[in-house]
Amino acid sequence: MKILQKSELKAWKKAKKLGPKKTIQLLKKQGLTGRGGACFLTGLKWELVKNAKGNKFIICNADEGEPGTFKDKLLLEKNPENIIEGILIAAYCINTKQAYIYLRGEYNYLKDSLKKTIEETLTASRSSLKIDIIQGAGAYICGDETAIIASIENKRGYPHFKPPYPPQKGLFGKPTVINNVETLANVPLAIINKDWNDSLRLFSISGNVSKPRVYEIKVGTKLGKIALLAKAKNIKAVCFGASGGCIPYNSNSIINAEHICKEEAMLGACSLIFINKKKSMLDLAINIAQFFNHESCGKCTPCREGNTHILKLLEKIKSGKAKQEDIELLEKLSITIRDTALCGLGQSCTNHILTALNHFKKDFKVR
Amino acid sequence: MQKKESIALLNILREIQKRYNHLPEKEIKKLSKKTNIPLVKIYETASFYSMFSFKRKGRNTIRLCNSPSCYINGSLNILKEIKRILKIDINQTTKDKKYSLELTSCIGCCDKAPAIMLNNELIGNITKAKLRKLLK
């Protein structure tokens, strides 16, 4: 895998030589986009914060919680050096002395090795940056950038409405850069490798496959090729995590954001869960609805109350007592939550139902 | 007194939870005094996160992942077996206080589904046989 190449501070030295402005320019030219799912230009994000005056912060989002996603874990295990170097370069470019790594509670076993890498990298680079690890404690919502801020501020992990965006008003009210682990690991490589390519991504492949693992694949690869790699057989659907929704399996489907969008699903952080023909999409919908019911933070009404009713309706369909009007209500409620919820979790938590109703209506039987 | 911005409450709560298998009132009060964070604020924050509990848990916590990848790879069969061996239900603790059982959202082990978390350790490709050995 190209992403596992170690920069060994070569990029750091190059960035120091270039200066912040030219380093940011280089990243923009290379086209590095955020790996968290929003695909925002990383260089542009840094520039917004660089130009702000006063205190500012960097947060490395290592709260990888999307079901079916485990690529950041691989990077934290196999190439933490590049992640720290990415943070160093970001800190240098925006001119800050304080960075945070928000490590999800479930990855606590990585804390000590990460700490060691931080110390070694900071010593070797002779940087005065301070990098603190904040450990999450089991809240999916804290992967949201505004919730992560609240969590580091010692509050409940409630997201807030955007704008203001974190680069304008972030941690402790100061301009803040929040980057995903994979984005930061790519920073050094984009700086030192001329042939670095933004479309090469880490895909987390799991589900009904014999070779589940992280694959480094170009965005735009055909689904059939990915299924072949992971040895997936008798597949009927592919889910993009829990929040991205699902599409029916078609070996010719092109896996990029635009194509997936046409099917009303979301590629997000490139997590593909293959579902075989023995499984019912209704059972899966119940499983995912349980997840969102549990993980809804409770701040806004559509998501908090809506998800309870979504689960009830799905269970009613499962019990065989549902009528056509229940399906209609399920669809209406799903759309309402999507359109009125406050944060990304709420706006995407019913994608799986809307796409399943669209493509697999047969699995949702009514009287 | 430390500057408020330099206190990482979640990290401290985690240490307390680890030491006592829950967040005892006495410790929270002590923490409040030491950090000058009001007691109610600490409770407000702590009660949000699923890894903190105010009720005492077992010495070991088993968290079974029930997110899609584990679910379609048979996590519910594993759940049945854990319940059978330990004779407890979800969110309960064994009489000898050795184990507590919980369901958890995705723990990032989808490539080793089904998976569990035993305290801090992630254990993948869990089978009934592996489980029997583990919980002996």
pLDDT tens, N- to C-terminus, chain A (367 residues)? 999 999 999 999 999 999 999 999 999 999 999 998 888 999 999 999 999 989 999 999 999 999 999 999 999 999 999 999 999 999 999 999 999 999 999 999 999 999 999 999 999 999 999 999 999 999 999 999 999 999 999 999 999 999 999 999 999 999 999 999 999 999 999 999 999 999 999 999 999 999 999 999 999 999 999 999 999 999 999 999 999 999 999 999 999 988 888 888 999 999 999 999 999 999 999 999 999 999 999 999 999 999 999 999 999 999 999 999 999 999 999 999 999 999 999 999 999 999 999 999 999 999 8
Residues of B in contact with A291 (CB under 8 A): 66-68, 105-106
Structure tokens at A180: 């995903």
Q: Which residue of A has its CA nearest to B75?
A: A287
Predicted confidence at residue B70, as pLDDT, reads 98
Contact call for B105 and A140, based on CB within 8 A: yes
Task: Show which of residues 13-52 on chain B sit within 8 Å of chain A, judged by CB atoms.
Answer: 13-14, 37, 41, 44-45, 47-52
B62-108 tens-digit pLDDT: 999 999 999 999 999 999 999 999 999 999 999 999 999 999 999 99
The CA-based dihedral angle spanning residues A317, A322, A323, A326, taken in that order and rounded to the nearest 10 degrees? -70
Domains of chain A, each with CATH number or no CATH: 2-192 (3.40.50.11540), 200-276 (3.10.20.600), 281-363 (1.20.1440.230)
Asked if the C-beta of B111 comes within 8 angstroms of chain A's C-beta atoms, the answer is yes
Q: Which residue of B has its CA nearest to A293?
A: B105
pLDDT band with cut points at 50, 70 and 90 for residue B109? very high
Predicted confidence at residue B3, as pLDDT, reads 60
pLDDT band with cut points at 50, 70 and 90 for residue B135? very high
Residue A68 near residue B67 (C-beta atoms within 8 A)? yes
Residues of A in contact with B124 (CB under 8 A): none
pLDDT band with cut points at 50, 70 and 90 for residue B4? low
Residues of B in contact with A279 (CB under 8 A): 72
Contact call for B106 and A136, based on CB within 8 A: no
ipTM of the complex: 0.96
pLDDT at B115 over 50: yes
B41-56 tens-digit pLDDT: 999 999 999 999 999 9
Pairing between strand B116-118 and B121-123? Answer: antiparallel
Report residue B68 CA to chain centroid gap: 20
Structure tokens at A312: 């009830």
Instruction: State the count of interchain CB pairs (< 8 A) between A and B.
Output: 134
Distance (Å) from the alpha carbon of B89 to chain A's nearest alpha carbon: 17
Residues of B in contact with A204 (CB under 8 A): 110-111
| Backbone dihedral region for residue A56 (phi beyond 0: left; psi -120 to 50: alpha; all else: beta) | beta
Residue A131 near residue A84 (C-beta atoms within 8 A)? yes
Residue A145 near residue A161 (C-beta atoms within 8 A)? no
Residues of B in contact with A68 (CB under 8 A): 67-69, 106, 110
Q: What is the mean pLDDT of residues B18-46?
A: 96
Cross-chain CB nearest to A287 (options B48, B52, B71): B71
On the 0-12 / 13-18 / 19+ scale of CB atoms within 10 A, B129 is exposed
